[in-house]
């Protein structure tokens, strides 16, 4: 990790470096993704089967594309009671947290005969993409499905790649069943996104696609946006830790490593006012990472996007954090709650030395699908709001309209929209 003094130039350099990781910067993949989408849109299942054979080495067909009840039952046997119990506890925490976000329709009325309101309606069909490959992400399954279930989405369709034997990771299947997925299909990559966006004979079209994935998945979501809605185009993971000498440097080092192990493009940044503390954390990072299974990935991440920044004071540290707008922000300082109140831009804020980032990833309840690459300046975590739509409701009686119709007519005439004005006038002509 590079240790540098925190200045405006330093922050600008970091921001420029981090933006290089954005999926929107990888234009060379866009043609490949566009070709896949076009093929699926034109040839449907046939294209899905061919891509699955090519990329996943499995002979997919109309009879085995959908995960069966027998496969789910076998997954429960493979997972076992201990892990199942943990999944259920995590699910309960996520569900309880998201229930507090739920909104109801509301209406207000006056004695003059007007009623205004907002009608909240859940989406009918949502697609959840779950990555496959060597890793399994049951936590992402829970985080993407539970807010949709709380919102009242009618049908939740999940897609995930299968192995060469046609199997899907059993932990992923159990998490999906526990969360309430209605249908699960063995399709991955950009082709799965295309199938969800346009529909095939086997895979239904959805209204919105959520869930993480590789660069091909991210660009596919970007390409189909407008035909369907999407959650976001997520970039690589990132963590920023603001810490002082009041906390254990081992804690800060371990938390930085927890994100650096995601992939070589992940970012881990420490901001502190103490150079002595910075050196301790740096030494602990080197000591701890030597013991970790993904040390090679961690090394690349820290070499390219790892920083230890020495700030002049805590105000400068907060300003830097707000400029970076990190996905995960940990505040490990003597006055952590006071610092938290000054944070404007962050996906998730973890307060105190015992509120480590993995707690949010797996168990606490708030959603771990968070804005990345500085988009926390204007985006929010995935929530129940992402799975509902809102309609404005307007009612005026004739009496109520009579009091305001001339105002509307004059407004319309000022914009030279005479048909708008006519729509009012005909209601009051004799």
Strands of 105-187, DSSP E: 106-109, 114-122, 125-129, 155-159, 183-185
Distance CA 21, CA 64 (A): 37
Q: Please tell me whether residue 331 adopts helix, strand or coil conformation.
A: strand
Single out the residue of 239, 238, 229 nearest to residue 385, CA to CA.
229
Distance CA 362, CA 348 (A): 13
Strands of 244-327, DSSP E: 267-272, 306-310
Active site residues: 327-328
Specify whether the CB–CB gap between 158 and 183 falls below 8 A: yes
Measured CA distances, 385 to 209, 353, 373, 390 (Å): 14, 31, 22, 9
Specify whether the CB–CB gap between 61 and 113 falls below 8 A: no
CB-hemisphere CA count at 13 Å for 199? 9
Tracing tokens 């929107």 back to the chain, one arrives at 24
């Amino acid at each position: 990790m590079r240790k540098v003094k925190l200045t405006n130039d330093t922050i600008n350099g970091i921001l420029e470096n981090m933006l290089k990781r954005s999926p929107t910067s990888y234009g060379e993949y866009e043609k490949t993704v566009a070709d896949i989408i076009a093929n699926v849109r034109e040839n449907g299942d046939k294209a899905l089967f061919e891509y699955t054979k090519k990329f996943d080495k499995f002979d997919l067909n109309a009879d085995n594309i959908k995960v069966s009840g027998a496969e789910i039952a076998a997954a429960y046997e493979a997972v076992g009671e201990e892990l199942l119990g943990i999944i259920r506890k995590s699910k309960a925490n996520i569900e309880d947290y998201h229930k507090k976000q739920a909104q109801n329709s509301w209406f207000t009325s006056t004695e003059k005969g007007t009623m205004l309101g907002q009608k909240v309606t859940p989406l009918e069909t949502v697609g959840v993409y779950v990555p496959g490959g060597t890793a399994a992400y049951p936590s992402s399954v829970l985080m993407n499905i539970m807010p949709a279930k709380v919102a009242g989405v009618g049908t939740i369709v999940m897609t995930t790649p299968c192995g060469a034997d046609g199997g899907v990771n059993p932990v992923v299947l159990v998490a999906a069943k526990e969360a309430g997925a209605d249908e699960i299909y063995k399709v991955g990559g950009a082709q799965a996104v295309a199938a969800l966006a346009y529909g095939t004979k086997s895979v239904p079209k959805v209204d919105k696609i959520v869930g993480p994935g590789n660069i091909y998945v991210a660009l596919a979501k970007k390409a189909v946006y407008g035909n369907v809605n999407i959650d976001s185009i997520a970039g690589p993971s990132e963590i920023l830790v603001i810490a002082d000498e009041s906390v254990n440097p081992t804690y800060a080092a371990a938390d930085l490593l927890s994100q650096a192990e995601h992939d070589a493009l992940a970012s881990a940044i420490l901001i502190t006012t103490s150079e002595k503390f910075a050196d301790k954390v740096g030494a602990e990072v080197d000591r701890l990472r030597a013991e970790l299974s993904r040390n090679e990935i961690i090394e690349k991440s820290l070499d390219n996007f790892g920083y230890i920044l020495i700030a002049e004071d805590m105000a400068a540290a907060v300003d830097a954090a707000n400029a970076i707008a990190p996905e995960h922000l940990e505040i490990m300082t003597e006055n952590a709650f006071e610092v938290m109140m000054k944070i404007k831009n962050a996906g998730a804020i973890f307060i105190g030395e015992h509120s480590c980032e993995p707690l949010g990833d797996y168990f606490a309840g708030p959603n771990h699908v968070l804005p990345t690459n500085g988009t926390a300046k204007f985006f929010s975590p995935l929530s129940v709001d992402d799975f509902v739509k809102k309609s404005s409701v307007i009612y005026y009686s004739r009496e109520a309209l009579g009091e305001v119709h001339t105002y509307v007519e004059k407004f319309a005439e000022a914009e030279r929209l005479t048909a708008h004005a006519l729509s009012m006038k005909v209601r009051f002509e004799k």
